[in-house]
Amino acid sequence: MRLGCGAFAAGCVLVEVLGVALFLRGFFPAPVRSSSGTEHQAESPAPEPSAGATSNWTKLPPPLFSKVVIMLIDALRDDFVFGSKGVKFMPYTTYLVGKGASHSFVAEAKPPTVTMPRIKALMTGSLPGFVDIIRNFNSPTLLEDNVITQAKAAGKRIIFYGDETWVKLFPKHFVEYDGTTSFFVSDYTEVDDNVTRHLDRVLKRRDWDVLILHYLGLDHIGHISGPNSPLIGRKLSEMDSVLMRIHTSLLSEEREAVSPSLLVLCGDHGMSANGGHGASSVEETNTALLLISSAFERRPGDVRPPKLVQQTDLAATLAIGLGLPIPKHSVGRLLSPVIEGRAMREQLRFLHLNTVQLSRLLQENVPSYEREPGFEQFQVSQKLHGNWVRLYLEEKNSEVLLNLGTKVRRQYLDALKTLSLALSRQVAHYDIYSMVVGTVVVLEVFALLLLSAPQALGSAAELEVPLSSPVFSLLFYLVLLLLGAVHVSVCTSTEGSCYFCSLSWPTVGVVLVLVSALLCAVLSALTRTCVDGKLLRRNPARTNSKWSELDLLILVGTVGHVLSLGASSFIEEEHQTWYFLVSTLCLALCHESYRNCFLGDNGESPCCLRVEGRFVRAAPTVKDKSTGCDVLELDRVCTKPSSLDTLRGCEKAMVLASPWLVLGCCRLLRPLNHTGVQWAHRPDLGHWLTSSDHKAELSVLAALSLVAVFALVQSRCSPMSRVAMALGLLGIYCYRASIGHVLLPWQRGSTAVSRGIIEARFVYVFVLGILFTGTKDLLKSQVLAAGATVKTVGLWDVYSGLVLLAALLFRPHNLPVLVCSLLIQTVMTKYIWRPLKHGAAEVAVMHYWFGQAFFYFQGNSNNITTVDISAGFVGLNTYVEIPAMFLTAFATYAGPVLWASHLVNFLSSEPSSGSALRRAGFCYALVCSAPASVYVVLVTALRYHLFIWSVFSPKLLYEGMHLLVTAALCVGFAAVDQARVQSRSGRAAAS
């Protein structure tokens, strides 16, 4: 089957979108969440179960400890405390572990083993995932239910010294804090001295309940010189002495206090063999956890090896210890040794509270929770507990009671273990299998696009798509069979939840067929390319195709941009890459136009030659077509020769000046919105304009921009849409005035600010009207074979409708971006692309680059916070999901969309463009899918990177969204192209 390469590319991008969607679903695991949300309303705690008799204990049990000191040492691996290093360098701690009143554990941290997610895990008991970032919308504050917030709500006074991350997570929770920054990794003494210097003063004071110390020095030493460095020993001794100071001070205080205090020594993550952290090796996940309190009595000679527990268990334990409700999303279980010394009734009450919390979380997250073994165990133990309470209330202090209580306790512990496991399985890991399937689809599509590029960009711009051969080939069935076997074996062997496995069988079958068909197609394309390459090598005369400097720049720029996505800084500052590339493109165009004008063949300026050439070329078409279908083209051609001599100098000057004009426009737009990270704090023009003092300036700017938009768009519109455009732009100004952004000249004083619903809807009517007129023209040109003029006008109407919509949705200070985009498009069309006769592929890539640059000129970045959500509420009374999402997406991607639709306009307005649009569509698809496909692989490789959640994941979402937009645009390209082909054939049939 022969297929136009535009349609082929559109199909490819659509399949690629499917692959990316599957990858995203696997990359962002479904979170374990309680539906009651983030609000911290005081829920009454679960009452003690009782069978028949009424229990009088419905309140939360009192706190076990009066004071809690948490000493968090960054990168405290388990063997630093319990291993030979601990014996050597931490004598006091070793003494406490061996003989003192303490419980020691090895706490297992879940990847990513990076400080911030670990702190979250320690304090909330949940496993933080990407959804936190979406929920918090990148505000660094921890909004989830956690121990610190609960403690603050309960009136506890918390003091914090150490890593700044805590202050960012809990900005208003500490009565006193001193954050140290962990940026300068080479400093490992100052960071800790800054924490220790407060100790003396704080330990003497009695006015706090919780003290948190976070020491960074050990982690820094690990980063500098690894876990075997002599510096580690020195640091451990220092930490040991700090621990001793705190412990003795607590002990001396305890003599006067009623209830004991608790000292927690823990690490947030471990340290790998070369000193780093972030991944999931045993050295990185196993941390030391030591709970010290005089309440933990131990018989002499009772030596227990440290038990392996989860890091998340600490949150529940701390909550119980401080007499607080357990955080809602905690998947941890109470560390049972902590409550061992208490009375049996209390022990059972604590365990019951924890089990109820976990089972509630399970009910909300697992639809078939009743069949879960943990839930069944919970119900059994709750019943037993009720019986025990009844017995207890009837008679006290008997042997039977104790034995029965021990049994109930064991039952509870089992239930807790099963519940906790079931919950943490849900979020533990990336869903690698879905990710791999998605990646394979994406890469296959990309390889197919790349391999078919030589054929598609050839003269015919058509592709031989062998549809029948892969379906009937042996290879296809073999691959399909193999994939099916792999699927079955993977899905039956994995323990964790896997999205791709949970899909229904027909869906999976379709995906597998797709994967194997793509594989066959790629292989056949590869063999074809090899054969062609051999043929080419045999007659080397044909390989003499030349690469111009511009082609080279486009190639280097595209490849360089794709490679730059591997570095987090380049993702943060991606706008700089695009500005840089666009500026370089302008300079290259400048070079080209200068060379053409000054060094043209025969000493004649080629731009003039080009004009004449067009005349010569257009002349036969005029002769051929007796019908006046090309009136517009004819007019232009006929007027040209008469004014050619006068225009020559002027046009030449414009050709020479236009690259500089474009460069100047881009430079003017740069300070409008500073995005990115490093330079985002600089004062920019946008803030200056939007501040209420400069409303008059903003009004003038907006009015001028709207007038300029009209001036630039109207010349090629149909008369009706010209009027609609003018009214629509007027409506936009009224909308902005009513919403209070700009001033109306006849308005004095402040008027009531409304939401401008009527005005916005007024504009929407015109947008829809213009779009409708344009589409009608397009359809007319297709069905009635009306000719190219109608079609060109129709396309331009659609384009101007989009411009009007963008003008409505843009923030008022961004209107100059729209004007500059239109201006650059006009100038480039007139003075660069036409005179210099660039190929369709080059023009397409240039449109893509400019579209990307304008995406960032609008103020977007690779951070989710910069999405302008207010665009989704324009003209809507309430939040309606689908229109709001569509409007937000359009406002965000207005730059790329407008440039792509201009590409369609430009190529179809070119006479005798033939297959140009198809080639451009293919090129556009190829250039857009390159970063997406490479980025998918990069993210998979970097999934344990330090910045995976903060930098790489938002970019992944942006990439996915961009690919979706590209798919829509490519379908549009293919549709317009198809209409073109049909209209041409229809015309041929008519004549």
Partner 1 sequence: MSPSEPLRRACHPTMSADLGQTATQENTMKNTDIKRLLYTHLLCIFSIILSIFIPSFFLENFSILETHLTWLCICSVLVTAVNLVSYLVVKPNASTKRSSLSYKVTRFLKCCIYFLMSCFVFHVIFVLYGAPLIELVLETFLFAVILSTFTTIPCLCLLGPNIKAWLRVFSRNGVTSIWENSLQITTISSFVGTWFGAFPIPLDWERPWQISYILFSGMAHLLYAWSDLWLRGWPCYFATLDILEQKATYIQEQLTGTQEEFLCRFHKDCAEMYMV
Q: Is 598 in the site for partner 1 (CB under 8 A)?
A: yes
Output the smallest distance, CB 438 to partner 1, in A: 29
For partner 1, how many residues bind (rule: CB under 8 A)? 24
Element (H, E) at 227: none
Binding positions for partner 1, 129-168, rule CB under 8 A: none
* Residues 324, 147: Cα–Cα separation, whole Å: 8
65 vs 181, 265, 296, 500, 793, CA distance in Å?
31, 16, 11, 47, 79
Range 885-914, binding partner 1 (CB under 8 A) = none
Please report how close the Cβ of residue 951 comes to partner 1 at its closest, in angstroms: 11
Binding mask 572-591 for partner 1 (x = CB under 8 A): xx--xx-xx--xx--x----
290 phi and psi, to 5 degrees? -130, 120
187 vs 759, beta carbon nearer partner 1: 187
330 touches 316 (CB < 8 A): yes
Cα 271 to the center of its chain, rounded Å: 28
Point out which span in 511-519, 593-601, 606-614, 880-888 binds partner 1 (CB under 8 A). Answer: 593-601
Q: How far is the CB of 856 from partner 1 (least distance, A)?
A: 12
Q: Is residue 569 at the binding interface for partner 1, with CB under 8 A as the rule?
A: yes
Residue 966 neighbours by CB distance under 10 Å = 27
Q: Is 106 helix (H, G, I), strand (E, B) or coil?
A: strand
Identify which range of 173-181, 464-472, 674-682, 870-878 contacts partner 1 by CB under 8 A.
Answer: 674-682
| Sequential DSSP letters for 112-175 | S--HHHHHHHHHH-S---HHHHHHHTT--S--S--HHHHHHHTT--EEEEEEHHHHHHSTTS-S
Closest approach, Cβ 682 to partner 1, in A, equals 10
Residue 594 binds to partner 1 (criterion: CB under 8 A)? yes
Single out the residue of 1, 42, 599, 988 in contact with partner 1 (rule: CB under 8 A).
599
Q: What's the rounded Cα separation, in Å, for the pair 280 and 831?
A: 57
Please identify which residue in 595, 617, 837, 984 interacts with partner 1, judged by CB under 8 A: 595
Stretch that binds partner 1, among 447-455, 508-516, 571-579, 932-940 (CB under 8 A): 571-579
Q: 458 or 664, CB closer to partner 1?
A: 664
- Using CB under 8 A, which of 245, 670, 755, 761 touches partner 1? 670
For residue 710 the two structure tokens come to 């009209």
H/E stretch holding 298: none
Residue 220, token pair as written in the block: 């820094």
Contact 520, 442 (CB under 8 A): no
| Of 886, 806, 900, nearest in space to 851 by CA | 900
Query: Considering the rule CB under 8 A, would residue 202 count as an interface residue with partner 1?
Result: no
Q: How far is the CB of 665 from partner 1 (least distance, A)?
A: 10
User: Among residues 452 and 658, whose Cβ is nearest to partner 1?
Assistant: 658
Query: By CB under 8 A, which span of 154-162, 351-359, 449-457, 666-674 interacts with partner 1?
Result: 666-674
Single out the residue of 722, 830, 825, 819 nearest to residue 766, CA to CA. 722
- Contact segment (CB under 8 A) with partner 1 among 172-180, 664-672, 711-719, 766-774 equals 664-672
Q: Pattern 24-43, binding to partner 1, x per CB under 8 A?
A: --------------------
- Which amino acid makes up residue 669? L
Say if residues 383 and 51 touch (Cβ distance below 8 Å): yes
Of 157-165, 448-456, 533-541, 565-573, the window that binds partner 1 (rule: CB under 8 A) is 565-573
HEC states along 893-910? CHHHHHHHHHHHHHHHHC
Q: Please give the full DSSP string across 10-36, using - where no structure is assigned.
A: HHHHHHHHHHHHHHHHHHSPPP---TT
Site for partner 1 in 339-358 (CB under 8 A): none
Per-residue x/- mask for partner 1, residues 644 to 663, rule CB under 8 A?
A: -------------------x
Binding test (CB under 8 A) with partner 1, winner from 432, 644, 677, 707: 677
Find the binder of partner 1 among 570, 615, 688, 944 (CB under 8 A). 570
Report how far residue 176's alpha carbon sits from residue 160's, in angstroms, rounded to the nearest whole number. Answer: 6
**If binding is defined by CB under 8 A, does position 666 make contact with partner 1?**
yes
d(CA 165, CA 272): 22
Q: Residue 462 Cβ, how far from partner 1 at the closest point, in Å? A: 32
67-73/210-215 β-pairing: parallel
Q: What angle do CA 73, 77, 79 make, to 5 degrees?
A: 125
CB of 37 to partner 1, least distance (A): 36
Closer CB to partner 1, residue 205 or residue 667? 667
Q: How far is the CB of 591 from partner 1 (least distance, A)?
A: 8
How far apart (Å, rounded) are the C-alpha atoms in residues 789 and 662?
29
* Binder of partner 1 out of 667, 776, 837, 984 (CB under 8 A): 667
Asked if 55 is part of the footprint of partner 1 (rule: CB under 8 A), the reply reads no
Q: Is the peptide bond before 812 cis (omega within 30 degrees of 0)?
A: no
User: Alpha-carbon torsion 106, 110, 114, 119, what sign?
Assistant: negative
Under the binding rule (CB under 8 A), the answer on residue 215 touching partner 1 is no
Minimum Å gap between C-beta 249 and partner 1 is 39
- Could you say which of 35, 139, 489, 678 contacts partner 1 (CB under 8 A)? 678
Shortest Å distance, C-beta 576 to partner 1:
5
**Contact residues for partner 1 (CB under 8 A)?**
567, 569-570, 572-573, 576-577, 579-580, 583-584, 587, 594-595, 598-599, 663-664, 666-667, 670, 676-678
